[in-house]
Amino acid sequence: MGRSIFCAEPARLLCRDGESALFSRRTRGFVPLPLEVREDNGLAMSGMKGVIFDWDGVVIDSSAQHERSWEILAQEISKPLPEGHFKLGFGQKNQVIIPRILQWASEEKDIQDLADRKEEIYRGLVRASGVHILPGARELLIALQEKGVPAAVGSSTPRGNLRAIFAATGLDRFFQAVVCGDDVSHGKPAPDVFLLAAEKLGLPPAGCLVIEDAHAGIEAALRAGMRVLAVATTNPLQDLHAATDALESLAGVTPDRLAAVFLK
């Protein structure tokens, strides 16, 4: 609900027709600000300076291609896939997934070779089938751009994958900074990806809101000193209680809604 402004003395306020006029509490009572002015004030008052988006599961959904690429790689190298491996590894770097979750290799070169091959398979699947932009993501990015709120990508995704999807979707025009798994030594749940994204935006971590879908990403955002909005694309809504706030999806989410999360 919009706030009303009471004036003890005459004050010049913006009217609905865009012109200014003098009002006083004595003669006119209160004057509600136009909706767009109230929303902008709420955004400014929240302290939210920028938004950092995780990638897969927040902006786009290519989980089926990721899961299938692990299956194809497992067949190629004749290795088993542990039950529940995909959910356990979601949001983490391949350099963590391969040795710790899959236990396929321990030597750095072997891990990197497997990771490179997995992503090569993934990009082939994406080229063949395309990717799905999740509901509300593009609309929110457009609205943030119109409000002048900078946005960044903070993802464990390798840069080659991001470039391929940017080329296919044109979404790169909405981001002032992009940080991927290749840019940091420690992936999520370490906070490095989000801290570097904030640095590239020129913003303090406390001024950034993160949008995430994975538990590792939520933990990383909190460890970075940021508020985090979780979306239930990968995990059930009831399992996202660690986040500052959680929603089923970004459908219908506005910058003002993000500012409300930031005030929690």
Spatial neighbors of 89 by CB under 8 A, at least 6 apart, are 96, 97, 101, 102
Does the active-site annotation cover 192? no
Q: What is the mean pLDDT of the segment spanning 64-68?
A: 90
List the domain boundaries for the chain: 4-33, 43-61+133-262, 63-129
Active-site residue, from 54, 61, 192, 213? 54
Token pair, residue 262, equals 């930031």
pTM of the model: 0.75
Catalytic residue, candidates 56, 61, 192, 213: 56
| Of residues 50, 62, 61, the one with CA closest to residue 135 | 61
Q: How many CA atoms lie within 13 A of 214 on its CB side?
A: 25
pLDDT in tens, 91-133: 788 898 999 999 999 999 999 999 999 999 999 998 888 889 9
Question: Distance of CA 154 to CAs 118, 185, 220, Å?
Answer: 21, 14, 10
Asked about 183 being catalytic, the answer comes back as no
The values of phi and psi at residue 5, to 5°, are -110, 125
Quote the pLDDT of residue 37. 37
User: Which of 29-38, 59-68, 74-83 ranks highest by mean pLDDT?
Assistant: 74-83
What integer pLDDT is reported at residue 6 of this predicted model?
34
pLDDT at 1 over 80: no
Q: Is the pLDDT of residue 11 over 60?
A: no
At the second CATH level, the architecture of 43-61+133-262 is: 3-Layer(aba) Sandwich (3.40)
> Tell me, what's the pLDDT at 93?
84
Q: What is the pLDDT of residue 42?
A: 62
**Mean pLDDT, residues 1-20:** 36
